[in-house]
Structure 1
Amino acid sequence: MSSRTQALKGVSVGDLIFGLRENGRPDLLFVYSADDTALLARNIFNRANFRFGRDGVGQRVEDGQVCTIVSTAELPPEQRQVAIGLDRRMGSNPEYPDTRMTEDEVRLVLDHDDFFEARLLPGTEAIVRRAQRLRAVSLILVSELNLIDERDTPASLSEYDDYIPTLVELLEKPGSTEEVAHALSEIAALRHRPHRVFERTAAVAESLVRLAQYWA
């Protein structure tokens, strides 16, 4: 039995596990049901539910997004306590201001990705590497292609999620700045973004190409 299989077989109710969806989004999950064939878990931040096979591959129940467990590492006791406390509080459907996060909870949000991605299950390295690239490209698009001062036509954080995998593949070729800029213009047109977004595609393409240089 491989160490990955053994680790997944050992997951039980009350454990915290870390998964990555196909779009690169991470999920810190509390396991609330487990048997010999399946695990049920929920995201401690947004309460989304997931069902996994014992092979670590599963789906988000609400929309079928594929998710893979990439780490079952144990958080340090103090961080685990924060995570469990947050899960319980979110489960009570609190109203504002009880929904406000404490400093420790904010720190958990900011730090847990790095903790788990440094303690991976064997064989999940490629999944994590791809997720990191997807998230990096998404961050550049949100911060550079769509500026926060566009109040009349704001873009959501998930505005370009459907197109980011194609951009990552282009950057991995690697694509030229001109090719990436053309791809960005096509995406902006499909999303009916305002003209000033098109004016930024060349500069954003340069940022993306520079990013991809670190992937080699």
Structure 2
Amino acid sequence: MLGDPAWCNQKLRCTYNQDRGHMTQNCRALKQHLEDLVASGHLQDYIDQDEEVTEPGNPPPEPNIEHPPRLIINVIHGAATQEPEETLREEIAKAVQIQQVMSVEPASKKDLEGIQHPHIDALIITVGIGRRFDIKRVLVDQGSAADILYYDLFKKLGLSEQHLTLAAAPLVGFNSQPEWPLGRIVLPVMAGTKILQIKFLVINIPSPYNAMLGRPWIHQMEAVP
């Protein structure tokens, strides 16, 4: 019997495995054993021969191809394997437990002010950057692996190139075009009452936003956008 016995249903017993966890008629090992016996030529007296009888001169009916069965593609990377039923049940139980532990409160009415539903708007917030400034039009981007500070905001914060350190590598967007940052800088970012030291890459390109906070900031905030 595969899987952790602690996750098995002790009220169900399999006569074939002489163990608890599932019923005999649901035992995959038993079904496979019976299929092997049939393939070897045994148990022929117990196999139904469901063959359609056609009248002489009449061609056999053509298969119904108007509605072919739908196929399923799961995750396409990695080797294709069939998970045992016990393993799947264990994973489902873990997922339910994580969902209960990580449950979050629904949005308040204040959070929904000015929002027209249903919406697919970008998440744009106001945060404090540096010691004296509250910065509007900051994009929260879960698809970005870096936190970005645009050069126009960099200058308005009263900073200069001498505050920057060298960037190790260029940024590459979805169009595969590399863009070398002017450099890196660490600045305090305040959201609500939480202040984090964030490592920004300074980029000198046009943007409708003042800054972009990506996954590094989101993970440090332990936030769900």
Same fold (TM over 0.5): no
Q: TM-score category by the smaller chain? A: under 0.3
TM-score where L is the length of structure 2 = 0.21
TM-score where L is the length of structure 1 = 0.22
Q: Which has the higher helix share?
A: 1
Q: Which has the higher strand share?
A: 2
